[in-house]
């Protein structure tokens, strides 16, 4: 099958040369196209940023214009009120003149304040010039107030001041007589230069502009200042046609003044017939983007050309790969010959986990033929307990962090259930790229070996006669529990149990009966080992031990008394035990806690052994703990009896 695949691959290489070249061209063109698409996105982002910045500035400047006009209008309201109520007073004109001067002094932005009679003649002004002979009845604002009874403010078109000759913006209010008839106009003028100076504080670039307009399209002020366009009406321009329907927005237009393409934002005042236009030169906004786009696209095109050249070189290598595939085919044939002659199961696994080859030994090892396994997943029958371990090893092999590994795991046999396999795994690499493309596994059945290991493990930790833990396992567990107790400050107790006069029992009833007796005692002790932290063990000979985790001295004594009573209740005859007539046990209890000086396993064993010794000395068939040793003088250890290091002996001493 592998030979057929290699032959098919050689044919594919021959037939796909032109298609690969066309694909390379499409790929290079796509990369350049995507690069340009990205650049257009960046360009549009810069334009949106410029629009947003212009919109924010337009809202800020129109607010400033509103504030300026409202301050001036408040001054006009005060003057109108004074004239309509106090103009008949003596020296009214002189008082009015003083009022105008005072108002102007408090409003630096004012160009001047003027009061005109009903015929247009000047009554008073904040200016110092001679006002005799001046008449403003020909002004548009004067005619509009005379013909309309509206008492609101009127923002007029920019005009040249007759007193100073400069461009000014007028703000006027109607003055009524006692019977509501037209009595004149009160006017305040704002110098167009005031707005221009204010606009000049904001940076809009060399091609940018700031313009304040009336809503009818009349230009009131513009920065950069152009004396020729102030007062001009732009209602027919392309910008104004786009800006008439909304309160605010953005417009891209070609300026009729200088022919510059601009990105602009406008905002209308909600209180006054004013509109602010902020414009940035489009070329100026996009200049940084153009510079960066030039270098970025140059790099993309350059790298694409390099990729194209490398692609052409790769296409030239396609022919040489045909020869390589023929070589691989011959090696595959040799591999199959060796695999089929092996007693072990040889399998080849693709990068995606698919079995591409399995040797005939699979029938004997797994119960499935190689034809049934090829095409399936290598980990299909894996035991859930071993899956994570095997997958971790396979992942290391795929990443290339390992080139070979040995692993044992359980898998499913077709007829006999679960079997243990031991597999030697080695990665295979693509001869062209050197990348990992699969794994070769050599597997053998190690079920019997694993069963033997389990049996030996049980023998190493269990006592063969009683089925309890042996001495070595007890020592290991006790050391761990004591270490944990030191961290958590929880108590740990040890109960040593010894069958009374057991040598006499063996001499009387025989060793077979003695073994049966020990098994029954062991069953009683095991029945009192009920928690995960408890451990019942045969300590040696007729002596047993019970480790009680997280148990204080009182609790351990309760368990010890229950064991003593349960053994006595077995009623095993024992004529050598004259005190009871049945088999009994003596028990010694020691507890390691934060209140005792017992810290090591040797300390605990020594103390519980002394308690056991005193229990036997006191008559047997009883349980004593290390506290009673200290409280009862009669139970104090005799100085003539040496301390016994039970941790260093195989069999504890027997008391007769």
Residues 392-430: tens digit of each pLDDT = 888 888 887 787 888 888 888 877 778 888 888 888 877
Residue 642 pLDDT greater than 60, yes or no:
no
Q: pLDDT: is 142 or 102 the higher one? A: 142
Which of 531, 529, 553 is CA-nearest to residue 628?
553
Band (pLDDT 50/70/90 cuts) for residue 616 is very high
**CATH 3.30.450.20 residue ranges for the chain:** 15-314, 342-453
Q: pLDDT: is 452 or 358 the higher one? A: 358
Band (pLDDT 50/70/90 cuts) for residue 643 is very low
Angle at Cα 501 formed by Cα 495 and Cα 502, nearest 5°? 80
**What confidence score (pLDDT) does residue 20 get?**
73
> Across the strands, what pairs with 160?
167
Residue 363 pLDDT greater than 80, yes or no:
no
**What confidence score (pLDDT) does residue 650 get?**
32
Quote the CA–CA distance of 35 and 639 in Å, as a whole number: 96
The residues that are catalytic are: 542
**What confidence score (pLDDT) does residue 326 get?**
58
Residue 490 pLDDT greater than 80, yes or no:
yes
Stretch 282-297: mean pLDDT, rounded?
A: 88
Quote the percentage of the chain above a pLDDT of 90: 16
Which parts of 171-281 fold into alpha helices (H)? 192-199, 238-242
Q: List the beta strands (DSSP E) in 294-352.
A: 345-350
**What confidence score (pLDDT) does residue 494 get?**
94
**What confidence score (pLDDT) does residue 456 get?**
60
Quote the CA–CA distance of 196 and 202 in Å, as a whole number: 11
Residue 306 pLDDT greater than 80, yes or no:
yes
CATH code for the part of the protein at 342-453: 3.30.450.20
C-alpha distances (whole Å) from 109 to each of 58, 69, 112, 261, 477 are: 20, 10, 9, 33, 95
Band (pLDDT 50/70/90 cuts) for residue 656 is very low
Band (pLDDT 50/70/90 cuts) for residue 554 is very high
Residue 614 pLDDT greater than 90, yes or no:
yes
Residue 390 pLDDT greater than 90, yes or no:
no
**What confidence score (pLDDT) does residue 331 get?**
57
Band (pLDDT 50/70/90 cuts) for residue 636 is very low
Q: Are 46 and 289 in contact (CB under 8 A)?
A: yes
Q: pLDDT: is 161 or 637 the higher one? A: 161
Q: How far apart are the first and last CA of the chain?
A: 82
Structure tokens given for 512: 């077979």
Angle at Cα 216 formed by Cα 214 and Cα 222, nearest 5°? 40
**What confidence score (pLDDT) does residue 612 get?**
94
Question: Mean pLDDT of all residues in the chain?
Answer: 80
**What confidence score (pLDDT) does residue 645 get?**
33
Considering only the top CATH level, what class is 15-314? alpha beta
**What confidence score (pLDDT) does residue 10 get?**
47
Quote the CA–CA distance of 471 and 326 in Å, as a whole number: 66
Which of 217, 215, 219, 239 is CA-nearest to residue 228?
219
**What confidence score (pLDDT) does residue 3 get?**
46
Torsion angle of C-alpha atoms 197, 202, 207, 211, degrees rounded to 10: -60
Q: Of 97-106, 179-188, 592-601, give the range with the top mean pLDDT.
A: 179-188
**What confidence score (pLDDT) does residue 251 get?**
84
CATH code for the part of the protein at 462-648: 3.30.70.270
Band (pLDDT 50/70/90 cuts) for residue 344 is confident
Residue 631 pLDDT greater than 60, yes or no:
no
Quote the CA–CA distance of 229 and 220 in Å, as a whole number: 9
Q: What is the pLDDT of residues 197-247, one digit of tens each?
A: 888 888 888 888 888 888 888 888 888 888 788 888 887 777 777 766 678
pTM: 0.45
- 282-286, 625-629, 633-637, 647-651 — which is least confidently predicted? 647-651
């Amino acid at each position: 099958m592998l030979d057929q695949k290699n032959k098919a691959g050689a044919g594919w290489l021959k037939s796909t040369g032109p298609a690969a070249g066309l694909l390379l061209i499409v790929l290079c063109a796509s990369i350049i196209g995507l690069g340009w698409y990205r650049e257009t996105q960046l360009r549009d982002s810069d334009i949106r940023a410029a629009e947003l910045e212009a919109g924010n500035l337009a809202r800020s400047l129109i607010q400033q214009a509103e504030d300026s006009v409202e301050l001036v209008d408040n001054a006009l309201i005060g003057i109108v009120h004074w004239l309509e109520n106090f103009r008949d007073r003596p020296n009214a004109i002189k008082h009015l003149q003083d009022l105008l001067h005072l108002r102007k002094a408090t409003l630096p932005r004012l160009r001047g304040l003027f009061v005109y009679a009903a015929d247009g003649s000047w009554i008073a002004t904040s200016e110092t010039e001679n006002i005799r002979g001046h008449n403003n009845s020909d002004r548009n604002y004067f005619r509009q107030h005379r013909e309309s009874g509206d008492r609101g403010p009127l923002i007029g078109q920019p005009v040249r001041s007759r007193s100073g000759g400069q461009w000014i913006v007028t703000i006027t209010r109607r003055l009524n007589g006692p019977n509501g008839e037209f009595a004149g106009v009160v006017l305040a003028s704002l110098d167009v230069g005031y707005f221009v100076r204010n606009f000049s504080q904001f940076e809009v670039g060399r091609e940018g502009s700031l313009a304040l307009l009336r809503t009818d399209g009349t230009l009131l002020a513009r920065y950069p200042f152009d004396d020729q366009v102030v007062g001009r009406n732009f209602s027919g321009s392309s910008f104004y046609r786009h800006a008439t329907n909304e309160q605010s927005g953005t417009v891209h237009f070609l300026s009729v003044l200088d022919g510059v393409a601009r990105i602009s934002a406008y905002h209308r005042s909600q209180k006054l017939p004013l509109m602010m236009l902020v414009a940035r030169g489009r070329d100026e906004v996009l200049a940084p983007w153009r510079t960066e786009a030039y270098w970025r696209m140059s790099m993309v095109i350059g790298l694409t050309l390099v990729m194209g050249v490398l692609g052409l070189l790769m296409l030239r290598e396609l022919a040489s790969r045909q020869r390589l595939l023929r070589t691989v085919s011959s090696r595959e044939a040799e591999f199959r010959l060796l695999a089929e002659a092996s007693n072990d199961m040889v399998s080849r696994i693709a990068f995606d986990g698919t079995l591409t080859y399995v040797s005939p030994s699979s029938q004997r090892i797994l119960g499935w033929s190689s034809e049934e396994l090829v095409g399936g997943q290598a980990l299909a029958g894996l035991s859930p307990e071993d899956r994570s371990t095997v997958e971790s090893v396979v992942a290391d092999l795929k990443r290339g962090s390992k080139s070979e590994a040995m692993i044992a795991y359980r898998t499913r046999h077709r007829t006999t259930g679960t079997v243990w396999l031991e597999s030697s795994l080695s990665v295979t690499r693509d001869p062209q790229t050197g990348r990992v493309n699969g794994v070769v596994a050599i597997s053998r059945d190690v079920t019997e070996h694993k069963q033997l290991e389990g049996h030996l493990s049980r023998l190493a930790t269990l006592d063969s006669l009683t089925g309890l833990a042996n001495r070595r396992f007890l020592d290991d567990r006790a050391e761990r529990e004591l270490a944990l107790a030191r961290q958590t400050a929880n108590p740990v107790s040890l109960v040593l149990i010894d069958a009374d006069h057991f040598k006499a029992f063996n001499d009387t009833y025989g060793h077979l009966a003695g073994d049966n007796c020990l098994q029954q005692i062991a069953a009683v002790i095991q029945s009192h080992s009920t928690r995960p932290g408890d451990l019942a063990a045969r300590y040696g000979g007729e002596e047993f031990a019970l480790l009680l985790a997280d148990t204080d001295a009182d609790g351990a004594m309760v368990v010890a008394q229950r064991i003593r009573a349960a053994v006595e209740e077995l009623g095993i005859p024992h004529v050598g035990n004259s005190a009871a007539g049945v088999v009994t046990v003596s028990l010694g209890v020691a507890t390691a806690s934060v209140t005792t000086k017992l810290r090591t396993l040797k300390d605990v064993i020594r103390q519980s052994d002394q308690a056991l010794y005193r229990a036997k000395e006191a008559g047997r068939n009883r349980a004593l703990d290390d506290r009673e040793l200290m409280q009862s003088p009669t139970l104090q250890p005799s100085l003539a009896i040496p301390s016994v290091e039970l941790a260093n002996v195989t069999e504890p001493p027997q008391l007769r």
